[in-house]
Structure 1
Amino acid sequence: MQSGILLIDKPEGPSSAQVVQRVKRALRAKKVGHLGTLDPFASGLLLLGINDGTKIADLFLTAQKTYSGVITLGVETDTQDSTGKILETREVPSLTEAELARLQEAFTGTLSQTPPMYSALKKGGVRLYRLARQGRDVPREPRRIQIERLRLSLPGPTEMKIEVACSKGTYIRTLAADMGKYLGCGAHLKSLRRLSCGLLTLDQALPVSAVEARGDQEKIPLISLSRALDFLRGLQLSNPVVARLRMGQQEALSGLPAPEGGEGMMRLLDSQDSLVALARWVDDAAGGRWRLFRVFGCSASPLASY
């Protein structure tokens, strides 16, 4: 099994870790890891790194993501989603188009968001969700998030559809709960579906069952590491330089051009446009230089049609 990125259409129910284990068994791959988790109740795009693909997880954790979902108005839960215990119910006000537009404007742009207790963040070395299950509520520091795009609509009197493009670290269920507080009626996230991560989209994804049906007997459509990272500038290098990079020789980077437009990372490619390494720009007393960030072994298979 070669290296690359496998796009999975995760169903509601299993955790991201459970999906990873199912795919790993089906492909008999040495390494499989997700490049950003989805809550068990959520569905949609889950990026899996296969073998060397696990080395680029941190690059996708920072990528913009888009989601669609449904918010239930008038009902607050302890988890801020449909899996939690109901804490309070209130009457839902009748919303006009103008009020919906104001709500949309209030929650677009740079926001301060307090992470939920039911999350994998740690406090004193303990996961917050473990503390929440013990009935404990501990202080959490608000974090700055960016809502690039928000579209709201009302399919019914107690439901609101949401489409959102957001930054790393955004909790959509907390966004839903905060909008409920803004409206004065409370709310929770009924359903959520991830549509994209960076430039990778759900329409390219396979259901887990399709991967299990193919197993390692048929070609699985992996996205090459180079294509997955094509938002970074790429530079094709000669075979001698490629050989030196594969041996981890930093000196081979001395001939690279200076960064453009404040870029901090570059793809280094062989003659076949396969990803050999990632170089990161490091500022120093001499004005800065490129340093090896990741080195990759074999090239990934190309994206197959399906």
Structure 2
Amino acid sequence: MARKRSTSGLDGLLLIDKPAGWTSHDVVARVRRLTGQPRAGHSGTLDPFATGLLVVCLGRATRLAEYLTAHEKVYVGEVVLGAETDTGDAEGQVVAWGEVPELDEAMLARVAARFTGRIGQVPPAFSAVKVGGRRAYDLARRGEAVELAARAVDVFDLRLDWAGEGRLRMTVRCGPGTYVRSLARDLGREFGCGAHLAALRRMRSGRFGVEDAWELGAMERLAAAGRVAEAVIPSDEGLMDWDAAVLAAAGAGAFVRGTAYVAGRTARVARRARVYGIDGEFLGVGAVEEGGVVRPVKVLVG
């Protein structure tokens, strides 16, 4: 393969279509190698068996990961009825069987409505949730009993469609922290037959869609041609639903030094906002307070 040029100064976001069998960490490690940027992370884990959109943050953009992780997400999954597994997916061991009932569209709609809104959800035992300072999946793999408390998650929209042969197609739009494996498990219990997730694909994360993501093979070819920077999008693209504040030279200078600045009393109050210099440079995240005070929260330049 041709020697790729150094791109260690890359800052921004890279949209990757994660293949099945890869962990999210595996993808980030490959991106580090392809871009030459050691500072890289993702904005929301996908299980190894899952595919779809993984938003990778590069360089200074890694400081924005917490905001991108909080975005709502859209998934499409395949639910197998009649068997519940210990992992909640097809890679686990079956722990309960049940006879699949007759299901019609009206029943599917009623059940979907019960799992829409703010709901209580128990994460899977095989998850990254910490129990006494240890990851739940580490305890579960050792055969230790794992008891996790239910927590509130937001399911904004849920659609269930009969896919034949004891299978459902599930489309879900949800908030951060929602486990789709747990949703499949709980649907199976609601139907009284058990269920697990056989396939999962993340279609959207915030304003980004998988249709705009790069497959790893295509990224390899870009890197070989020294063109990987063409795939990187600006860091602020993930925050475009926020308010923005534009500062003239004095205000921008204060911001990058970490100092609050009175931008003007006409400024609208915003708990968080994108902050730019008058030349259009994205400076970071700030809070706009009463009286037009712009206070730095995360400074990305300087």
Which residue does 2:297 correspond to in 1? Answer: 293
The reply to whether residue 229 of structure 1 matches residue 236 of structure 2 is no
Which residue does 1:111 correspond to in 2? Answer: 119
Query: Following the alignment from structure 1 to structure 2, what is the Cα–Cα distance between the partners of residues 292 and 111?
Result: 35
Q: 1:253 to 1:194 in 2, by over 3 A?
A: farther
> What percent of counterpart residues are identical?
36
Q: 1:30 to 1:257 in 2, by over 3 A?
A: farther
Measured against aligned partners, the alpha-carbon deviations of 1:251-275 in whole angstroms (never above 9, x if no partner) come to 3355475544xx4101111234231
Amino acid at match of 1:59: Y
| SS of match in other structure, 2:84 | strand
Q: 1:287 to 1:246 in 2, by over 3 A?
A: closer
Amino acid at match of 1:73: L
Query: Following the alignment from structure 2 to structure 1, what is the Cα–Cα distance between the partners of residues 90 and 146?
Result: 22
Alignment TM-score, normalising by the size of structure 2: 0.91
Q: Could you tell me which of 3, 23, 47 is aligned with 1:39?
A: 47
1:116-265 to 2 correspondence within 5 Å?
Answer: 116-215=124-223, 217-218=226-227, 219-248=229-258, 250-253=259-262, 255=264, 257-260=266-269, 263-265=270-272
Q: Could you tell me which of 243, 246, 270 is aligned with 2:277?
A: 270
Query: Following the alignment from structure 1 to structure 2, what is the Cα–Cα distance between the partners of residues 129 and 89?
Result: 23
Distance apart, 1:149 and its partner CA? 0.6
Distance apart, 1:289 and its partner CA? 5.4
Alignment TM-score, normalising by the size of structure 1: 0.90
Distance apart, 1:155 and its partner CA? 1.4
Q: Given that residues 112 and 144 in structure 1 are in contact (C-alpha distance below 8 angstroms), is that contact kept between their aligned partners in structure 2? A: yes
Q: Given that residues 77 and 200 in structure 2 are in contact (C-alpha distance below 8 angstroms), is that contact kept between their aligned partners in structure 1? A: yes
Which residue does 1:279 correspond to in 2? Answer: 286
| SS of match in other structure, 2:137 | helix
Which residue does 1:304 correspond to in 2? Answer: none
Give the count of matched residue pairs: 292
Distance apart, 1:89 and its partner CA? 2.3
Q: Given that residues 261 and 294 in structure 2 are in contact (C-alpha distance below 8 angstroms), is that contact kept between their aligned partners in structure 1? A: no
For structure 2, list consecutive stretches of 5 or more residues without a partner in the other structure. 1-8
Amino acid at match of 1:184: G
